[in-house]
Structure 1
Amino acid sequence: MNSAEIEELKTLVEQQYGKVLGTTTDFEEFSLYAGRKTGTRVSPSTLKRIWGYVSDKHKPRTFTLDVLAQCIGHDNFAAFVAWLKTSTRYNSSFFSANQLISNELHAGSSVEIGWSPNRLVHLDYLGNSLYKVTESANSKMQPGDVFMTGCFIKGQPLYLPYIERNGQRTPPFVAGRNGGLTIINRIK
């Protein structure tokens, strides 16, 4: 079982290495690469267990994690974990955004949202953060669909837990998965 820190270490190792580890050959080649880079070799079978390529419920040895951390420029795994805790790359933060917040609208307002490629949806605000689709161009949303959201943020995807369609709830839906919403307009 791997911790969030080990999962992040694996991701950064693959980024540094320039290749996703997913085959027996990948693990054999990476084992040689790690040995050249750090002077210490980790067996391909150990790497396969850490990456979940083979089943194993044991926690990886610190020695192995130290070698992986050294591959990405840290002295050891403990130094890597300390870096994770202080790195601004992983900190939560406030940000400026062009956004439309539901509680700033009144029932009967109309909103237009869009995202790439060429998706455009017109919505009527029903109140209580509920929206009804009135027009939809090139989107999987359909006129009559109803959904709930607290806000629309330009440049961010719109994640919806479900869309109410013909009395049924759909699975979760995301609009603008790649690139986020590009159009957010209050029509009236």
Structure 2
Amino acid sequence: MLSPYIVNLLENKYGKKIRYPSDCENISREIADTLKESVSSNTLKRLLGFIKDGVQTPRLSTLDIIANYIGFDDWDMLLQHISEPIISSKYIRRNEMIRSRTLKKGEKVRFEYSPGRVVVVEHQEEWLFTVVESINSKLQIGDSVEIEIFLRDRPLYIYNVMRNNENIGDLIAGKISGITAMTVIKVE
């Protein structure tokens, strides 16, 4: 499913809330008419949660078309836009954001994203964390990672993933659905 943030962008373009499966059919037609590209109404229904089964991860070409419909060149540009959020208390509620610099050494952040991925990281200093639990994620226990900020319903940008003293690069968790849940586990 698409993250609520991306759904909101889609609704803004569509001009009203997406509440019914027929809205997906209308958006599919609008995409075909304006972009001369096609995204099936069933794909949109799946991405918007009206259909629960089927393909979990859509094709990048499908995501590119949706991003283009919303007003971005492609999916990567949309993700880049999302990675530069307005970090202001008037736009983001307190329980939807965790800033790494506000955590104490030893505190943990547990976050979840689709489909069925759960990760717990332990804060070391500044942006530095160690992965202490990982279920169905590319991250492994013992990985050292850098995370500046956790935002609910947005992709999580994880930098400089260090595994066995080797930098294996950056990672985006929840690229499509965003982070669906997150909690801070306080140090005792």
Q: Distance in 1 between matches of 2:33 and 2:163?
A: 45
Which residue does the alignment assign to 2:37? 20
Which residue does the alignment assign to 1:162? 160
**How far apart are 1:18 and its partner, in Å?**
4.4
Q: Distance in 2 between matches of 1:135 and 1:172?
A: 18
Alignment CA distance shift 1:96-1:125 (3 Å): same
TM value normalised by structure 2: 0.51
Note the residue ranges of structure 2 that are not aligned, 5 or more in a row: 1-29, 39-84
Which residue does the alignment assign to 1:176? 174
**How far apart are 1:96 and its partner, in Å?**
1.8
| Alignment map for 1:1-188 (pairs within 5 Å) | 16-20=33-37, 95-97=91-93, 98-188=96-186
Which amino acid is 1:180 matched to? G
**How far apart are 1:170 and its partner, in Å?**
1.2
Note the residue ranges of structure 1 that are not aligned, 5 or more in a row: 1-12, 22-91
Which residue does the alignment assign to 1:46? none
Structure 1, residues 20-67: CA drift from partner, whole Å, max 9, x if none?
A: 39xxxxxxxxxxxxxxxxxxxxxxxxxxxxxxxxxxxxxxxxxxxxxx
Q: Distance in 2 between matches of 1:166 and 1:126?
A: 17
Q: Which has the higher contact order (CA 8 A, sep 6+)?
A: 2
Which amino acid is 2:37 matched to? V
**How far apart are 1:187 and its partner, in Å?**
1.0
**How far apart are 1:133 and its partner, in Å?**
0.3
- How many percent identity over aligned positions? 29
**How far apart are 1:160 and its partner, in Å?**
2.2
Q: Distance in 2 between matches of 1:161 and 1:105?
A: 18
SS of residue matched to 1:161: strand
SS of residue matched to 1:163: strand
**How far apart are 1:14 and its partner, in Å?**
6.8
TM value normalised by structure 1: 0.51
Alpha-carbon RMSD across the aligned residues, in angstroms, is 2.3
